[in-house]
Amino acid sequence: MRIVAEIGSFQAWTHANLQRIESVLQRVLPGPEIAPQRLHQAMRYAVLGGGKRVRPLLAFAAGELAQAESERVAIAAAAVELIHAYSLVHDDLPCMDDDVLRRGRPTCHVEYDEATALLVGDALQSLAFQLLGEYRLAEDMQTQLEMVKLLAAASGSRGMAGGQAIDLDSVGKSLTVPELEFMHIHKTGALIRAAALMGAHCGNGLDEKEFARVDQFAKYVGLAFQVVDDVLDAESSTATLGKTAGKDAKNSKPTYVSAMGAAQARELSRELRNNALAAIEDFGERALRLRQIADFIVLRKF
Amino acid sequence: MRIVAEIGSFQAWTHANLQRIESVLQRVLPGPEIAPQRLHQAMRYAVLGGGKRVRPLLAFAAGELAQAESERVAIAAAAVELIHAYSLVHDDLPCMDDDVLRRGRPTCHVEYDEATALLVGDALQSLAFQLLGEYRLAEDMQTQLEMVKLLAAASGSRGMAGGQAIDLDSVGKSLTVPELEFMHIHKTGALIRAAALMGAHCGNGLDEKEFARVDQFAKYVGLAFQVVDDVLDAESSTATLGKTAGKDAKNSKPTYVSAMGAAQARELSRELRNNALAAIEDFGERALRLRQIADFIVLRKF
């Protein structure tokens, strides 16, 4: 009880780290007055002012576990969030999900135009890697190059972009649960996993075995995140989500809800949470924030 | 005369390095049998089998000057070429230039589909940075992180993607020559400059002053490249170019030809070539390949 009180509440921790990540994103995005202005304004529109920042919070929690300096973790977390933000901008384009609402506001191509939104996504991806080349993030530079490789692999054709391709290909099909899992391990899982590992790489407080535990934890959390997303998409209102609800069914996309029903999907998300918590059990009190984030992800909104 | 004979002809040098870059690109692109197959096939379609590989050749020439190992330069050159290839795929999309022909074949979104072409570009960009994190390229890792930053900055909103945004914004406008120059320094110049510097970073044979000379050379070559491109677009046939000719005029895009006429644009390209050659004069015979590439770029097809 006393330890928890000293560490501070999850709310206070989250609040402090959300401020930290917003301030870094504000700073690393080129100012709206810098040419080409419209592109820079659109990049800021796409990244700032909204988003749950789940990936940065995961990076901060893993970074604390690895005894990393929070300034370093904040940059690594910003890189991951820039990749996430770019993927949303491209995912919302007419040739992809063709969506008009994101974080309670018009999507980037609606507020600006399609060509600008395309370039916004492209330039946000470049900016993510620029941060990894520009700032000192890890104790040794070999580890920092490892972070470049890790984020790139998680973003690319065998990670997030590959997951999007599988997603496109699955429209109108009914997938089995293992097929769904394969898709989501790529589409959302890879970047969530990268977020935790990027945070952990900023410190040197974890040995190889402990690092593997964080990895295992993040894999389960990533899948749980997607299962919860599917349930929320099926059961929530657009107003609550801040993005268009029910669009999976409308777009004939296979989901955990369509594959197993909402009740079983909810049950699966709880199982995945338990697996995630089991993976970090041996850390004891040191993994408090990771446990709280797992709960935050799985228990949100239902 | 004897030195030149020993070094071998430009044709032989080009041939050997083109084989080298093709073989590296073949190897680093995921195989067509790896899931998601369609995405990987489309990535290979967009990158392999065509292209002048001007940027890789520039990287090889600068790498030789810096006494770099050619295996390292080949990876750095592949990273630059992947960025270039992604930019072409996105540039050809309907919301951008809406072009159907590239390197004598249907563009990626015509051969596959728009969503796949979008993801191809995204994943090629990730792959470029993955190479820089994965392979040992420079003598020290600080230099290698510098290369990550350099390529990211050259690709992003204050480099190539920014140039595209300025280009979009200039459709239907008549730009002055300095405004055109500002656009092209970003749109094509940044990546050409990066190609030379990435090659030079792979070795440690250049001091700071010599490095700055290569940079200066590459800036002039990059501009000359664009001026020549404008002339070729205005004066060549689609069959000769392997891409749609006359599209600048059709798309109401300001070019050096529309700003100053073809004869003066041709004259400007020769001036820029002379400036480029002057920048590397002090290297003497060591800069033979760089000089030959400048000629190759400026004197092609007219």
Q: Is the pLDDT of residue A140 over 70?
A: yes
Q: What is the pLDDT along chain B (302 residues), one digit of tens a residue?
A: 444 444 579 999 999 999 999 999 999 999 999 999 999 999 999 999 788 999 999 999 999 999 999 999 999 999 999 999 999 999 999 999 999 999 899 999 999 999 999 999 999 999 999 999 999 999 999 999 999 999 999 999 999 999 999 999 998 888 888 999 999 999 999 999 999 999 999 999 899 999 999 999 999 999 999 999 999 988 877 667 677 777 777 778 889 999 999 999 999 999 999 999 999 999 999 999 999 999 988 887 64
The reply to whether A110 touches chain B by the CB within 8 Å rule is no
Q: Domain holding B189: CATH number?
A: 1.10.600.10
Residues in A closer than 8 angstroms to B113, CB to CB, are: 95
Q: Given this model, what pLDDT does residue B7 score?
A: 58
Asked if residue B281 belongs to a domain, the reply is: yes
Asked if residue B39 belongs to a domain, the reply is: yes
Residues in A closer than 8 angstroms to B40, CB to CB, are: 157
Residues in B closer than 8 angstroms to A116, CB to CB, are: 165, 168
The reply to whether A116 touches chain B by the CB within 8 Å rule is yes
Q: Kindly report the length of chain A.
A: 302
Q: Given this model, what pLDDT does residue B301 score?
A: 63
How many domains are contained in chain A?
Answer: 1
Q: How far is CA A154 from CA A177, A193, A234, A290, B62, in A?
A: 22, 8, 27, 20, 32
CA distance A168 to chain B (A): 8
Q: What is the DSSP string of B92-133?
A: TSTTTT---EETTEE-HHHHS-HHHHHHHHHHHHHHHHHHHH
CA distance A246 to chain B (A): 21
Intra-chain end-to-end CA distance of chain B, in Å: 27
Both tokens of residue B225? 């490249």
The reply to whether A32 touches chain B by the CB within 8 Å rule is no
Q: What are φ and ψ of residue A207, in 5° steps?
A: -85, 175
CB contact under 8 A, B129 and A148: yes
Q: Given this model, what pLDDT does residue A7 score?
A: 58
Asked if residue B188 belongs to a domain, the reply is: yes
Q: Given this model, what pLDDT does residue B2 score?
A: 43
Full domain range(s) for residue A128: 2-299
pTM over 0.90: yes
Residues paired with A102 in a beta bridge: A105
Locus of tokens 């492209």: A122
The reply to whether A161 touches chain B by the CB within 8 Å rule is yes
Q: What is the DSSP string of A250-291?
A: HTT---HHHHH-HHHHHHHHHHHHHHHHHHTGGGGGGGHHHH
Element (H, E) at A127: helix A114-134
CB contact under 8 A, B129 and A129: yes
Q: Given this model, what pLDDT does residue B236 score?
A: 78
Q: Given this model, what pLDDT does residue A301 score?
A: 63
Whose CA is closest to A247, among A257, A233, A231?
A: A233
Q: Given this model, what pLDDT does residue A2 score?
A: 43
Q: Other CB atoms closer than 10 Å to residue A16's CB: what's the count? A: 12
A36 contacts B166 by C-beta, under 8 angstroms:
yes
Residue pLDDT, tens place only, A141-191: 999 999 999 999 999 999 999 999 999 999 888 888 899 999 999 999 999
Q: Is the pLDDT of residue A54 over 90?
A: yes
The reply to whether B30 touches chain A by the CB within 8 Å rule is yes
Residues paired with B106 in a beta bridge: B101
Asked if residue B1 belongs to a domain, the reply is: no
Residues paired with B105 in a beta bridge: B102
Locus of tokens 């580890």: A143
CA distance B117 to chain A (A): 10
Query: What whole-number distance in Å separates Cα of residue A278 and Cα of residue A171?
Result: 34
CA A36 from centre of chain: 28
Both tokens of residue A107? 């999507």
Locus of tokens 């406008």: B173
Residues of B263-284 as b/e, b for ≥16 C-beta within 10 angstroms?
eebbebbeebbebbbebbeebe
Asked if residue B4 belongs to a domain, the reply is: no
Asked if residue B2 belongs to a domain, the reply is: no
Whose CA is closest to B215, among B190, B196, B187, B191?
A: B196
Locus of tokens 């006494």: B67
- Lowest model confidence (mean pLDDT) among A60-64, A134-138, A259-263: A259-263
CA distance A264 to chain B (A): 28
DSSP, collapsed to helix, strand or coil, labels residue A105 as strand
DSSP, collapsed to helix, strand or coil, labels residue A54 as helix
Residue pLDDT, tens place only, A236-263: 777 676 777 777 777 788 899 999 999 9
